[in-house]
Chain A
Amino acid sequence: MYRYTDFDAAFVAERNTQFRAQVERRIDGSLTEDEFKPLRLMNGLYLQLHAYMLRVAIPYGTLNSAQMRQLAYIAERWDKGYGHFTTRQNIQFNWPTLRDVPDMLDALAEVQMHAIQTSGNTIRNVTADHFAGAAADEIADPRPVAELIRQWSTDHPEFQFLPRKFKIAVTGSPNDRAVTKAHDIGLRMVRNEAGEPGFEVIVGGGLGRTPMIGKIVRDFLPESDLLPYLEAVVSVWNLLGRRDNKYKSRIKITVHEHGIDDIRARVEERFALLRSAFTGVDQQLYAQIKSDFEPPAFNNRDVAPFDQAYANDPVFRSWADTNLSAHRAPGHAIAQISLKAHGATPGDASADQMRVMADLAERYGHDELRISHEQNVVLPHVHKADLPAIHAALKAVDLATANIGKISDIIACPGMDYCALATARSIPIAQEIATRFDQLKLEHEVGDLKIKISGCINACGHHHVGHIGILGLDRAGVENYQITLGGDHTENAAVGQRTGPGFSADEIVPAIERIVDTYLSERDSADEPFIDTFRRVGMTPFKTALYGESEKKQKAA
């Protein structure tokens, strides 16, 4: 894992001192509310529906046990004893007071964490594959790249007052777990024909009210050109992006309005101008960063305890079948800890739960934890022999739900329970769907199915790329939920299609049930997952199930 250099530590300390002064200067009137707003946002502090919210960066989703324990401490000391893990590998504290925030930031700095650029019109916390450094299918570890970008983008003088926010994601695996095609810039680590490392650069993806799948702006960028090229892209957009309408200011709209060829030409021109500003020192830093991400020393023990538990304990077997993924080291596994217990708030963890996860990582997991964009926690390196003990410890604090990738493993934004922008509730809908399918005992029968819920058009819950997407809107003061089907968040990224008119809060769970029933009757075998069935049979049977034959005939007439 990355360890702060003296430079990083001094930077964060200085930044916190500055923010403490900014809070005081807001209170004494030196800063107007308008001026203070972007300054607090670039330090992670939002004003929500009921209170301030502090969004803390977990760069590329990686943290160690001491950091997780400190998050637990912060949750208890300054918040209500829990935190909320988000789709961008951050954690949010929902109830801090303004006066406490500088102290919270100092507490984060003690464990080499910060809240810098988790909000505002800046380059945001860089995200990466949550299985990085562990996955069997990986060609290169994206975390050193993400860390290099974190350092380059932090307090970048040109890019603190951009037209809008800017999000970068990196993957080092052909199976894209970082949703790179739905980011302002997506980076896929690839090799060219000569075997040299580089990136496929994707630009202009995004969700929100105008979902766009990113386009390739450079099919092979040599590794050493990364920072000047990124700087060229953001620099071009900073001048070209629209500032007259915040809904049209993201780079996806700039790319859409000017065309990818025009953008490419501008970027290449800017790149040629500024490339010489980078002398190769960045590559020396990159090499140092890489050495911090050496894989841990895996041991080669007998996996008999795992086999025994798997054979004898059906609860453990179900968890192992659902929550484990292939690790590159023999005898090891990647274990996912579900933060989606049926009926709980997706992504929430209590301070006690955080401490248990920290203890498990320290004792069994080479002191590493990850946060996934699906709002779960990952133990990336565990030996299979330790899994029965891990499962037992998780069970004791209600963290052993066996539902990763299943219908109740729902991504949901905070919605109207917390968010000032929301037009509908998200969390209660997620809870009702999870509880309903748990009652029906259908979850494992249904298999892999991603439901994603957003409580407004800004799409923080990624509904566009859910196999089933749910968008909560306000229709004349009443919550109304639109459904989309066929979205995909992987390397085959696709935006879901709307089924038709929306459903009320009372109708939405039965509607989801009808969609699932239709899938179960249409699939050609239990091996065909929902998304494949949808691609094969199309929208029609689902529409019929939702709206009946009459609707279909009316449309045809």
Chain B
Amino acid sequence: MTVLIDDTGFLIADPTRWIDPEARIDLASDTDPAQLKSLLIGKELVRIAFPSFADGRGFTLARIIRQQGYKGWLRAQGHVIADQYAMARRSGFDDVEIDDDLAARQPENQWLARADWRAHDYQSRMRGLAA
């Protein structure tokens, strides 16, 4: 089983549970960025895989997807550690999905410690976005 995490901590219910199966897509971390636009047509939930926490491609894919105007739900799924929560949110993800083992090893308080991801963000500062 997996655990969903957002700024409020570990979630009890999946906020995307109403989304139609056909409006969901899972993307591998090596997805060709040139294909993103066509892959996402009609999608409302995009899950990007993190096969390893050291594979940072998902952050750039998320950023591109948002820059292309996608307004739906964006989820980082797999081996994402609490220390990467702010990076995921800043890159455009709405929440993170991890497995139970990782959630047991890195309990909710370690994720909540990074929930204030808008603070101390150089990128918002450089882009003139309110911190």
A residues contacting B by CB (< 8 A) are 7, 10-11, 14-15, 18, 21-22, 25, 29-32, 35, 38-39, 121, 151-152, 154-162, 227, 235, 238-239, 243, 270, 273-274, 277-282, 285
Contacts and interface: CB of A to CB of B under 8 A. Distances in A.
B87 A157 contact: yes
Contact of B128 (A14, A29, A31, A281): A281
15 contacts: A39-B83, A121-B56, A152-B126, A156-B122, A156-B123, A158-B56, A158-B87, A160-B59, A161-B84, A162-B56, A235-B63, A278-B127, A279-B128, A282-B128, A285-B125
Contacts of A280: 128
Contacts of A14: 119-120
B3 interface: no
Residue among B33, B53, B60, B123 with most chain A CB within 10 A: B60
A238 B86 CA distance: 19
A270 B36 CA distance: 13
B22 to A, nearest CB: 27
Of A30, A32, A279, A282, which is in contact with the most chain B CB atoms at under 10 Å from its CB? A30
Nearest to A148: B126
Interface of B: 33, 53-57, 59-61, 63-64, 67-68, 81, 83-84, 86-88, 90-91, 105-107, 110, 113, 119-123, 125-128
Contacts of B119: 14
Contact of A161 (B54, B113, B121, B125): B54
A239 B61 contact: yes
Looking at A11, A29, A151, A161, which has the most chain B CB atoms within 10 Å of its CB?
A161
A22 B122 contact: no
A274 B81 contact: no
A154 B122 contact: yes
A390 B131 CA distance: 47
Given A160-B59, A282-B126, 5 more contacts: A151-B122, A155-B121, A274-B63, A281-B125, A282-B128
Nearest to B33: A239
A402 B121 CA distance: 46
B119 to A, nearest CB: 7
Contacts of B110: 25, 30
A239 B60 contact: yes
Nearest to A42: B83
Contacts of A159: 56, 59
Nearest to B57: A239
B121 to A, nearest CB: 8
| B interface, over-half SS | helix
A38 B54 contact: yes
A243 B128 CA distance: 33
A243 B58 CA distance: 13
Given A14-B119, A273-B67, A158 B127 contact: no
A29 B105 contact: yes
B120 A11 contact: yes
A161 B122 contact: no
Contacts of B127: 277-279, 281-282
A159 B122 CA distance: 13
Contacts of B56: 121, 158-162, 238
A223 to B, nearest CB: 15
Given A239-B33, A281-B126, A31 B60 contact: no
B79 to A, nearest CB: 9
A468 to B, nearest CB: 38
A151 B87 contact: no
B125 A30 contact: no
B120 to A, nearest CB: 5
Contacts of B86: 157
B76 to A, nearest CB: 12
Given A22-B83, A273-B67, A274-B67, A35 B125 contact: no
B122 A243 contact: no
Contacts of B107: 30
A158 B121 CA distance: 12
Nearest to B61: A239
B122 A11 contact: yes
A157 B55 contact: no
Which 5 residue pairs across A and B have the least CB separation, nearest first? Answer: A161-B56, A281-B128, A157-B90, A157-B87, A158-B59
Contacts of B113: 21
Nearest to B93: A157
A278 B67 CA distance: 12
Nearest to B113: A21
A157 B91 contact: yes
A148 B120 CA distance: 16
A323 to B, nearest CB: 38
B59 A157 contact: yes
Given A239-B60, A277-B127, A161 B55 contact: yes
B49 to A, nearest CB: 14
Contacts of A157: 59, 86-88, 90-91, 123
A10 B67 contact: no
B124 to A, nearest CB: 10
A281 B123 CA distance: 11
A502 B104 CA distance: 54
Given A21-B113, A160-B87, A31 B81 contact: yes
B126 A285 contact: yes
Contact of A158 (B60, B68, B83): B60
Contacts of A35: 53, 81, 83
B60 A235 contact: yes
Contacts of B105: 29-30, 32
A110 B123 CA distance: 24
